[in-house]
Amino acid sequence: MLWHLHIVPAPGQEDLDGHRLATEATELGLPGPWTISASRGFLIEDNSEGISSKDWFERLRSLAAEVLVDPVTEQFDLSPCLPRPRPTADPRLLRADLVLQLQRQFPDARSFEIDVNEEAGTARILADDVAIDPVEFDRWTVRSYLALIPPSVSRPWESVHVMPKPGVTDPVAESALSLLHALGLDVAGVRTIRSYHVVGPREALPDLIRRVLSNDAVEHAVVGELVLDHLGQGKPYRFERIDVPILALQDDELVRVSKEGQLALSLDEMKTIQAHFAEVGRDPTDCELETIAQTWSEHCSHKTLRGLIDFDGEIIDNLLKQTIFKATKDLNLDWLVSVFEDNAGVVRFDENVDVCFKVETHNHPSAIDPYGGSNTGLGGVIRDVLGTGLAGKPIANTDVFCVAPPDTAPTDLPPGVLHPRRVLEGVVAGVRDYGNRMGIPTVNGALAVDPKYLANPLVFCGTVGVIPRGMSSKHVEPGDRIVALGGRTGRDGIHGATFSSLDLSADSEEVSGGSVQIGNAITEKMVLDVLIQARDRGLYRSLTDCGAGGFSSAVGEMGATSGAEVDLEKAPLKYEGLSYTEIWISEAQERMVLAVPPEKWPELKALCDSEDVEATDLGRFTDTGLLTLRYQGNLVAELSMDFLHEGRPKVTRKASYTPREPQTINLPRQGYDYSADLLKVLGHWDVASKEWIIRQYDHEVQGRTVIKPLVGEHEDGPGDAVVIQPVRGSNVGLSISCGINPRYGEHDPYAMAMLCVDEAIRNAVAVGADPDRIALLDNFCWGNPERPETLGSLVMAARGCHDAAIAYRTPFISGKDSLYNEYDHEGRKLAIPPTLLISAIGRVPDVRKCVTMDLKEPGNLLYVLGGASNQFGGSVWAEVTGRKAGKIWADPHRAVSHRAVYRALHSLMQRGLIRSCHDVSEGGPAAALAEMAMAGGLGVEVDLIYFGAENGSAAAHDASRLFGEGSGRFVLEIRPSDVSEVTSRLFEVSCDPGSDGVTRTVYTHFDKIGRVRTDGEAQFTIVRSDPPLVIQWPKPGDGHPVIPLIDLPLSTLKAAWQRPLHPAHVPG
């Protein structure tokens, strides 16, 4: 029998969720007005067939009060989920519940008089002596509980119940179940449920449910009465081996088999499989086909970038090897430990520890269920670090989101697409709940907004870990036990790996409902706690995480060169009914696979037991070269490891690139006031304050964060990078930063790559990282690579990455690509802009020398290092002022000289000569300067007369000086007393010797632009003196004519900058 524990806010407690949802409904454009009361609850199933015993009911009631309901802020009701009323209500209880409900409904009423007529099933109610119409009631059903609100008093209302679909992981319910068991109550199952009492236009209710209250992909909504008799979490599975007859099939039939089985295998691949099994002399089993499909998927094998590319006639064999890997190999740096080999890249940090870093994407799952998608995206990349070497200990997370404008009109949404605002809120909450619970600080990130992400948002999650030196490599020995550790296996995420190789469409959610996964961070935290102890005690020889493809990928990879035997029925399941194939390919979260020497297994098992972590011996690694799978003793797969890993036919794709015709941009006439433009730039999503996101993340847990993501007088300035202390007690730090700019990609993918690398490095240098010790990660997110121009732009970006890595001497240590980021519905195609995320970790020699971007003291002087730029292609200013034209560029020579400047700047920072430093990126110098002023709470007086008027060439346009974007630039704040020393050091810098062995000198652009105000005015003023030509070297402020460019109070700047992502639900 099933019971509904319905938990409501106690009288006088604000219904925070209800208010938030009603606001959200209005903001999403649903015709209102809406009044929503939200409540939570549990569905609890007992083990009896019929009516539960009174004892059981009373026990549940008292345990609920004790452990499931807050004693102060909540009240509850417990009733069976039955359709029919039951006659025996205790009138006193009924009265109490009526009063409770009425108090919620009529908070202003001081007294209620209730006259219950049980036989008639009615109650006469007086509130403050005013009669409320008689209504039907029923003690035992939820319907009547909510039905106590008389329709004649209130507007029409409806109750909506939302619960996770069967099979969807429900961590809260799991906790409740185990606690109730621990407290001695016999409970068969628990699910969470949310209930809403909605007052609003009835015809818009389906939209409200779909867009605001629930998510069809993972949840099930019931309108009205809740009638359920059991939770239905799975039925017993009866073994039946399934062979898939493909040997006799024609081409079109092979294609059909692939498509119907969601295998995402091409005809060429299907034919190779057919030929292989013809040789073996039998048809494959479903499990074998699935294993091959997972292993050969774009997600797992990266077949496009590792295949052959015909690039306008030039054949590229393995693009990654020719570009990204090659740069790392050619740089040949002695501080690289393990690159492009393991789940994360590993570099040396100090004499005792290495650090590793990995960034992953989780795009398609996040499009369907933003919360679950980003939640498990972060959980997955944390496991990547756990599965690096002999296990890295995670010390920091990063997250980058690409979404459509959160203020997109709801009417513009294609079918099956969630509103970007919901996507953003969901992905932030997903990262928050996983990272915070794991106790890993989420410290760095970015937001890129573009309408082309509407149907296909991008979610990047990264994790940094530390590994004791000497523990960064591992191997498997035949005879080692295959041990699964952590979470149980369910139907979660089936077909996730092959799903990411398909375009999204309106019915994506239906096709791939199972691909959605929900995480349980605490399970992973427990795995982490056990793993680090087991690692230090030497209890296993190798490990990897279960990611895409589940056991199939993990065991398949670990046993690739040896062989493996697995008995699938041994895997612990979340619920009954999984077939052997489902067990094998399930992407249930929080699982690791270990290779354990048989003699260590008892000790490992005992350790896991002591921490309540489930560890199961699934089989053993062999030396047969075969992947052998059994279910209850029946052979269900026997695959050649060699065929599995080497048998895939090489993919050949065509690529083509035509540079975009640069168009001249129209610039404003002289005398134009740029104040309004600056406000628009600051209000652009990519530039605007991300405080609303950052504060939801615990960015200081572990006590390592010495430069925070938010800096300045009010801790709201946008820091360039964070710095953490990987080793407690050591002053050597690690910076974490990133660079991303999809707008550049549409202008010039090669330049985008170089500029993103430059920005990631520059952010690191700005806080004090050593430019000689920065390591990079690449994450390519592109559209369908089967379209030549899409792949062509990717080739150009990969080449940009290579050239940048060589020029800056910053190696790539790991990376990941995600292709097919497109939406396709009824011929309407929407591909994302080419998106490259560059993430960087940098060694900070001494955290005590770190610099932040907030202006520090009145009277200090302001400089721009790196000159003015008239690059407007993809610039924020061009976008917010409606200009489409403009160019961007970047080249290796420029990068080589930037590197020389960065090294010089770094040495000045080490001597304490730089008071603040901020990179110039989106929005150009004006935006950078505005951010510094806002963060420091200090006004500035700037005269651009000498900025951008160099080398005898025509002086730069004012728009260029203010808003031009491009590489290599910083705004610096310097004490007047330090200026001469800084200037002499930055005047000329030496580059690395070129390939000809010659060392070149760069004369740096280092322009004084003004100073931090000394008059205490919080005013942001930029002018340009415009003296007559005859005056030699005019001094700013000498009484020459002055052209005002921008003049705004800091409060106005800040309001514009904080408005887009203002925390709307903050009280007051």
Partner 1 sequence: MSPRALVLRAPGTNCDEETVVAWERAGASVQVGHIGRLLADPKMLDGFQTLTIPGGFSYGDDLGAGRIFASRLGTALSDALGRFRDRGGLVLGICNGFQVLVRAGLLPGGTHAGAVTLARNLSGKFEARWVKLRPLGSKTPFLADDEPIELPVAHGEGRFLTGDPSATEALDRAGQIVLKYVDDQNHPTSEYPSNPNGSSMAAAGVCDATGRVFGLMPHPERFVDPFHHPRWTRRGPRAEGDGLRIFRNAVKSLS
Please give the positions annotated as active site: 299, 362
Q: Which of 144, 233, 702, 983 binds partner 1 (CB under 8 A)?
A: 702
Q: Which stretch binds partner 1 (CB under 8 A): 80-88, 129-137, 712-720, 1028-1036?
A: 712-720
Q: If DSSP states are collapsed to H, E and C, what string results for 290-326? A: HHHHHHHCHHHHCHHHHCEEEECCEEEECHHHHCHHH
Min CB(848)–partner 1 separation in Å: 7
Q: Is 73 in the site for partner 1 (CB under 8 A)?
A: yes
Q: Is 612 in the site for partner 1 (CB under 8 A)?
A: yes
Nearer to partner 1, 487 or 800 (CB): 487
Q: Is 699 in the site for partner 1 (CB under 8 A)?
A: yes
Q: Give the list of residues 6+ apart from residue 981 with CB closer than 8 angstroms, or none.
A: 913
Q: Which of 525, 654, 894, 985 binds partner 1 (CB under 8 A)?
A: 525
Q: What angle do CA 552, 651, 319 make, to 5 degrees?
A: 95
Q: Is 184 in the site for partner 1 (CB under 8 A)?
A: no
Q: Is 437 in the site for partner 1 (CB under 8 A)?
A: yes
Q: Is 27 in the site for partner 1 (CB under 8 A)?
A: no
Is residue 285 within 8 Å of 244, Cβ to Cβ? Answer: yes
Is residue 163 within 8 Å of 219, Cβ to Cβ? Answer: yes
Min CB(14)–partner 1 separation in Å: 8
Q: Is 1066 in the site for partner 1 (CB under 8 A)?
A: yes
Tell me the three state secondary structure of residue 388: coil
Nearer to partner 1, 172 or 1055 (CB): 172
Q: Which stretch binds partner 1 (CB under 8 A): 649-657, 783-791, 846-854, 978-986?
A: 846-854
Report residue 259: phi and psi, to 5°. -70, -45
Q: Which of 707, 754, 862, 1061 binds partner 1 (CB under 8 A)?
A: 707
Q: Which stretch binds partner 1 (CB under 8 A): 251-259, 436-444, 645-653, 901-909?
A: 436-444
Q: Which of 255, 701, 732, 949 binds partner 1 (CB under 8 A)?
A: 701
Q: Which value, in Å, is the radius of gyration of the alpha carbons in the chain?
A: 31
Q: Which of 47, 48, 53, 70 binds partner 1 (CB under 8 A)?
A: 70
Nearer to partner 1, 50 or 107 (CB): 107
Min CB(698)–partner 1 separation in Å: 4
Q: Distances in Å between the alpha carbon of 743 and those of 304, 838, 876?
A: 24, 15, 9
Q: Which of 68, 132, 476, 641 binds partner 1 (CB under 8 A)?
A: 68
Q: Is 40 in the site for partner 1 (CB under 8 A)?
A: no
Alpha-carbon torsion, ordered 248, 250, 251, 255, to 10 deg: -70
Q: Distances in Å between the alpha carbon of 818 and those of 263, 297, 815?
A: 17, 11, 10
Q: Is 409 in the site for partner 1 (CB under 8 A)?
A: no
Q: Which of 705, 737, 871, 1019 binds partner 1 (CB under 8 A)?
A: 705
183 HSE (CA, 13 A, CB side): 17
Q: Are strands 774-781 and 812-818 parallel, antiparallel or unpaired?
A: parallel
Min CB(180)–partner 1 separation in Å: 10
| Complete edge-to-edge strand list for the sheet that includes strand 1042-1049 | 916-919, 970-974, 861-865, 1006-1012, 940-943, 1019-1025, 1042-1049
Q: Is 854 in the site for partner 1 (CB under 8 A)?
A: yes
- Applying CB under 8 A, the site for partner 1 has a residue count of 68
Q: Are strands 481-486 and 615-621 parallel, antiparallel or unpaired?
A: antiparallel
Q: Is 91 in the site for partner 1 (CB under 8 A)?
A: no
Q: Which stretch binds partner 1 (CB under 8 A): 224-232, 432-440, 597-605, 1050-1058?
A: 432-440
Among the residues of 73-170, which ranges form H helices? 91-105, 142-147
Q: Is 11 in the site for partner 1 (CB under 8 A)?
A: no
Q: Which stretch binds partner 1 (CB under 8 A): 430-438, 645-653, 681-689, 945-953?
A: 430-438
Q: Give the list of residues 6+ apart from residue 1033 with CB closer than 8 angstroms, or none.
A: none
Contact set for partner 1, span 476-515 (CB under 8 A): none
Six-digit token pair at 549?
């493809």
Q: Which of 539, 710, 754, 781 binds partner 1 (CB under 8 A)?
A: 710
Q: Is 850 in the site for partner 1 (CB under 8 A)?
A: yes
Residue 1016 and residue 858: Cα distance in Å, rounded?
Answer: 8
Nearer to partner 1, 173 or 626 (CB): 173
Q: Which of 695, 883, 975, 1062 binds partner 1 (CB under 8 A)?
A: 695
Is residue 970 within 8 Å of 918, Cβ to Cβ? Answer: yes
Nearer to partner 1, 680 or 699 (CB): 699
Q: Is 1065 in the site for partner 1 (CB under 8 A)?
A: yes
Q: How far is CA 553 from the centre of its chain?
A: 23
Q: Give the list of residues 6+ apart from residue 1055 with CB closer than 8 angstroms, or none.
A: none
Q: Is 1037 in the site for partner 1 (CB under 8 A)?
A: no
Min CB(517)–partner 1 separation in Å: 17
State the DSSP string of 216-257. Answer: TTTEEEEES----S-------------B---TT--HHHHHHH
Nearer to partner 1, 590 or 770 (CB): 590
Min CB(281)–partner 1 separation in Å: 51
Q: Which stretch binds partner 1 (CB under 8 A): 120-128, 566-574, 595-603, 844-852?
A: 844-852
Whether omega for the bond prior to residue 33 falls within 30 degrees of 0, making it cis, is yes
Min CB(308)–partner 1 separation in Å: 47
Residue with tokens 């104040």: 675
Residue 332 and residue 334: Cα distance in Å, rounded?
Answer: 7
Is residue 939 within 8 Å of 1014, Cβ to Cβ? Answer: no
Q: Is 1016 in the site for partner 1 (CB under 8 A)?
A: no
Is residue 457 within 8 Å of 420, Cβ to Cβ? Answer: yes
Q: Which of 449, 518, 626, 847 binds partner 1 (CB under 8 A)?
A: 847
- Burial class, 625, CB count within 10 angstroms (exposed 0-12 / middle 13-18 / buried 19+): middle
Nearer to partner 1, 731 or 990 (CB): 731
Pick the closest to residue 291 from 505, 554, 28, 532 (CA basis): 554
Nearer to partner 1, 144 or 175 (CB): 175
Which residues would be at the binding site for partner 1 (CB under 8 A)?
A: 13-14, 16-17, 20, 66-68, 70-73, 171-172, 174-176, 179, 182-183, 432, 436-439, 520-522, 525-526, 529, 610-612, 694-703, 705-708, 710-713, 715, 728, 847-848, 850-852, 854, 856, 916, 936, 1063, 1065-1068
